[in-house]
Amino acid sequence: MAISKKFTLKKEMKSVTGQLADLNVELAEQMILLASQTGESAPLIGAVKALREAEGVYCQNSAPDKHAKVQQSLGDILLTLGRVNGDIDALDASVSAYRSAITLASLLGDEPMRREVKKNYATARRLLENRIGKSDLRGAA
């Protein structure tokens, strides 16, 4: 009986965790929409954070290709904003988005995507280091 209850609780926890990930993805989508309507980068930075929260529950079987591509696209947009506007927060968020995209591409076994994202990640890190004068940024996944 105790084993059955433990199994049921684990199953429920997995379901709730999945729902939380879905809510974080939905939040990110709304933040991206807000950014497109306002032209501000702050909602995009929030979207990166929400997607990183969702990423915490992915495994190789559940890491959606779509989320890896969204992270890559967010990184690209934030890199462009950071480069054009000299926005350190956008550059920092692009590094984070690229790091997530690299992790997801690894989980998915998508080596071509991983290589492409790592190039952009290196560019974002270099620009950020030049802007803030630091070389001690965290490494890629």
**Residue range 62-119, pLDDT digits in tens:** 557 778 888 898 899 899 888 988 889 999 999 999 998 999 899 889 999 999 999 9
Instruction: Determine, yes or no, domain membership for 141.
Output: no
Instruction: Determine, yes or no, domain membership for 112.
Output: yes
Instruction: Determine, yes or no, domain membership for 6.
Output: yes
Instruction: Determine, yes or no, domain membership for 50.
Output: yes
If one counts the domains in the chain, the total is 1
For the stretch 11-64, pLDDT in tens is 777 767 777 777 887 888 888 888 878 878 888 888 888 887 777 766 545 557
CA distance 78 to 68: 15
Segments forming the whole domain that contains residue 50: 2-132
Residue 112, phi-psi category: left (phi > 0), alpha (psi -120 to 50), beta (remainder): alpha
82, 90 in Cβ contact below 8 A? yes
Instruction: Determine, yes or no, domain membership for 138.
Output: no
Phi first, then psi: give them for residue 139, nearest 5 degrees: -80, 170
Instruction: Determine, yes or no, domain membership for 41.
Output: yes
Instruction: Determine, yes or no, domain membership for 56.
Output: yes
